[in-house]
Amino acid sequence: MKTALKIATILTWFNLLFWSGFLLLLALSAVASQQMPILIGVVLFSCIPLNCYAALLLHRSIRRPGSKLSSQTPTGIRFVGFVAMFFAIMFVVNGLTFAGKASEAVKMFKDGIAQMKDADPRYLQFATTSVFRNIGYTIAFLGICVGVNVLLNFRLLRWYFLVNQSDIRQNDEVSQNDEP
């Protein structure tokens, strides 16, 4: 369980920092361009950092048994975790699809740039199949990081409850044996 906790902690911090920064940039760009529909996406994507924060509270409770877990944290890990898992699956599927159809994406990108009148031709030098394939693999990798993190947090939450239930039962048995 120590290995799972260590991997979950590393993934949690990575996801928390990456997705918080990404969401901050996305929110600032949405506010600057006054496009409110983007803010809806920001709110939905915020499930990933929220799940990470709840997972950090769980990790603290596992490492220090004296610090109890709030009654809302397990619900947050489960509910927000399912939404984050949806995004993780979506990222993996879309990333692998994008990587698999990179040549078609390059062609569509070049056609779109050609139709724009004010387009900077420097964009075309980056429009290669390998760049688009790497973008797809990066999106899939981020989805895998989120998905594995959510699954590990579900597992750690289950383990936390199993350990606490056995501690409560042991304490009840000890207190019953103490009575004459």
Per-residue pLDDT for 177 more than 70? no
Q: Which domain covers residue 59, as residue numbers?
A: 2-167
Residue 172 lies in a domain: no
Q: Is residue 173 part of a domain?
A: no
Count of domains in the chain?
1
Q: What is the pLDDT of residue 138?
A: 92
**pTM: predicted TM-score of the whole model, two decimal places:** 0.78
Out of 102-106, 135-139, 169-173, the most confident range is: 135-139
Check residues 94 and 121 and name the one with the higher pLDDT.
94
Higher pLDDT, 29 or 123: 29
177 is a domain residue: no
Task: Give whichever of 31-35, 109-113, 175-179 has the largest mean pLDDT.
Answer: 109-113
Whether residue 175 is contained in a domain is answered as: no
pLDDT of residue 110 exceeding 90? no
Taking the CA atoms of residue 17, residue 23, residue 27 and residue 28 in that order, the dihedral angle to the nearest 10 degrees is 40
Asked if residue 143 is part of any domain, the answer here is yes
CA distance 146 to 81: 9
Residue showing tokens 């984050």: 84
Give the HSE-up count for residue 83: Cα atoms under 13 Å, Cβ half-sphere: 16
pLDDT of residue 115: 79
Q: What is the largest CA-CA distance in the chain?
A: 91
7 inside domain: yes
- pLDDT, one tens digit per residue, over 49-102 is 999 999 999 999 988 888 888 888 898 899 999 999 999 999 999 999 999 998
Give the gyration radius of the chain's Cα atoms: 22
Q: Are 98 and 136 in contact (CB under 8 A)?
A: yes
> Within a domain: residue 63?
yes
Write out pLDDT tens, residues 125-154.
777 888 889 999 999 999 999 999 999 999
In this predicted structure, the answer to whether residue 180 has a pLDDT above a threshold of 50 is no
- Give domain status of residue 176, yes or no: no
Q: Which of 92-96, 106-110, 138-142, 158-162 has the lowest mean pLDDT?
A: 106-110
Q: What is the pLDDT, as a whole number, of residue 172?
A: 53
Instruction: Please give the pLDDT value at position 168.
Output: 59
